[in-house]
């Protein structure tokens, strides 16, 4: 009786509990709405019971820094505060532009808050340190401040290179940080299609003058450090070694197909950076010396013409001899073993670590052979590599 009263009260007050239907309707019923699992929903279903990964790695410089100018630049980069960077603040007020939308005139970037998050600032700092540590500071090269390493190695130096189980490599945070620095004008990037993955990736990177001046490094300091680097290379006898290293780099770039032969605007921009590096006083003195030599040659030619004014045939013969001497090209130096070494070391069949290992072993046994007799050095190197049969 009491149970019937309670059930009647529940029915009046609406207190009946809903009982689960033991025979639910199928999902493919016509009345039921159709849902398609998204990629994010599928990933969440597979990750059920596990915490979501915010980021796999914390960006930090993981590679050794060469001594000299690289260590000085890295020391300046590590103490930079991105919250007080006016270029970054202005860029975030306008909004970032993805690389795929840079040629779209209808794209409107979305403004952001002026201060970047800590993850973005850490990535920008680690990228700046890695670029400064792997930069080429030789002032004798045609295009200074080039990063002498693939961007995949830069991501590995930042500690942000992730390799999946199937072997695919991913480094999205370093690429995003490089895109931000490219929009800031701190770096100059040559994009192209990667031969292995077929994706559009940064293939060559150069540092611009804003990369240094935005961190408080003045032009005079850069010129002083470059002068010290050149004097150090001359004292240690490394001028020829650095030149050949740069030649091997250019040969490897040309073999891959990412040279600057048809990129005139990019070459002009890089030459502008080199003119910024060279001291204007030195350029003025060089121009004055060239003008002085040209004037002296004009005076000598005028005197010769005055002496031989009556003999026009002699003057024409001498002029023809001068033109023929100027037209003669210099005979190339006999560097057969060096050319063979370059062809062997830049081939895809030989891993780079084996070449470096052979060079280090040979330099330890014969430290002065490269400077005294380069051809003998490369001949011995090719012999030990098994290319030459003695």
- Domain identity same for 230 and 290: no
* CA-closest candidate to residue 132, choices 60, 226, 211: 211
- Domain identity same for 295 and 195: no
- Domain identity same for 341 and 199: no
- For 174, list phi and psi in degrees, rounded to 5: -60, -35
Domain assignment of residue 376, given as a range: 336-385
Determine the distance from the C-alpha atom of residue 364 to the mean position of all C-alpha atoms in its chain, rounded to a whole number. Answer: 31
- Domain identity same for 75 and 206: yes
- Domain identity same for 154 and 299: no
103 Cβ contact list (under 8 Å, min separation 6): none
CA distances to 29, 222, 250, 354 from 218, rounded to whole Å, are 73, 7, 30, 40
- Domain identity same for 259 and 294: no
- The helix (run of H) or strand (run of E) holding residue 188 is strand 187-193
Kindly report whether the global pTM for this prediction surpasses the value 0.75.
Answer: no
- Domain identity same for 274 and 130: yes
Tell which of 310, 327, 344 closes a domain: 327
- Domain identity same for 228 and 371: no
- What is the number of structural domains in the chain? 3
Is-contact 167 153, C-beta < 8 A?
Answer: no
Residue 28 lies in a domain: no
CA–CA gap between residue 377 and residue 381 (Å, rounded)? 6
* CA-closest candidate to residue 128, choices 154, 149, 110, 166: 154
Residue 13 lies in a domain: no
| Sequential pLDDT tens for the chain (390 residues) | 444 444 444 444 444 444 455 555 554 554 555 566 677 777 777 777 777 777 788 899 988 888 888 999 999 888 889 999 999 999 999 999 988 898 898 999 999 999 999 999 999 999 999 999 999 998 888 888 999 888 999 999 999 998 888 888 889 899 999 999 999 999 999 988 877 667 788 989 999 999 999 988 888 889 888 888 888 888 888 888 888 888 888 888 888 778 888 888 998 999 889 888 876 665 566 666 667 767 766 766 666 555 544 455 555 566 556 555 544 444 444 578 888 888 888 877 788 888 888 888 888 787 777 777 888 888 888 888 888 775
Residue 53 lies in a domain: no
- Domain identity same for 185 and 322: no
CA–CA gap between residue 373 and residue 310 (Å, rounded)? 54
- Domain identity same for 191 and 317: no
Residue 217 lies in a domain: yes
């Amino acid at each position: 009786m009491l149970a019937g009263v309670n059930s009647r009260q529940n029915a009046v007050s609406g207190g009946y509990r809903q009982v689960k239907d033991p025979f639910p309707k199928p999902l493919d019923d016509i009345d039921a709405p159709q849902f398609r699992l998204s990629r994010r929903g599928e990933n969440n279903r597979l990750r059920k019971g596990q915490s979501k990964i915010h980021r796999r790695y914390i960006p930090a410089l993981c590679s050794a820094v060469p001594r000299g100018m690289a260590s000085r630049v890295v020391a300046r980069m590590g103490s930079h505060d991105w919250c007080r960077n006016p270029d970054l603040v202005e860029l975030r007020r306008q909004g970032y532009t993805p690389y795929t939308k840079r040629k779209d005139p209808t794209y409107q970037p979305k403004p952001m808050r002026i201060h970047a998050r800590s993850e973005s600032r850490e990535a920008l700092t680690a990228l700046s340190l890695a670029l400064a540590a792997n930069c080429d500071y030789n002032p004798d090269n045609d295009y200074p401040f080039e990063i002498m390493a693939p961007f995949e190695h830069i991501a590995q130096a930042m500690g942000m290179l992730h390799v999946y189980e199937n072997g695919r490599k991913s480094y999205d945070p370093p690429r995003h940080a490089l895109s931000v620095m490219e929009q800031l004008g701190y770096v100059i990037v040559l994009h192209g299609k990667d031969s292995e993955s077929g994706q559009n990736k940064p293939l060559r990177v150069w540092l611009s003058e804003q990369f240094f001046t935005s961190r408080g490094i003045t032009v005079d300091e850069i010129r002083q450090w470059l002068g010290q680097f050149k004097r150090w290379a001359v004292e240690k006898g490394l001028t020829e070694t650095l030149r050949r290293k740069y030649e091997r780099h250019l040969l490897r770039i040309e073999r891959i197909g990412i040279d600057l032969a048809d990129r005139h605007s990019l070459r002009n921009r890089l030459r502008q950076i080199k003119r910024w590096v060279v001291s204007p006083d030195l350029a003025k003195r060089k121009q004055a010396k060239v003008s002085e030599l040209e004037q002296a040659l004009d005076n000598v030619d005028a005197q010769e013409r005055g002496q031989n004014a009556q003999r026009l045939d002699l003057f024409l013969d001498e002029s023809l001899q001068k033109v023929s001497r100027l037209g003669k090209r210099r005979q190339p130096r006999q560097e057969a073993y060096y050319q063979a070494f370059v062809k062997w070391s830049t081939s895809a069949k030989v891993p780079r670590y084996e070449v470096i290992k052979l060079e280090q072993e040979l330099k330890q046994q014969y430290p002065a052979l490269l400077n005294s007799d380069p051809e003998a050095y490369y001949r011995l190197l090719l012999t030990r590599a098994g290319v030459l049969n003695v």
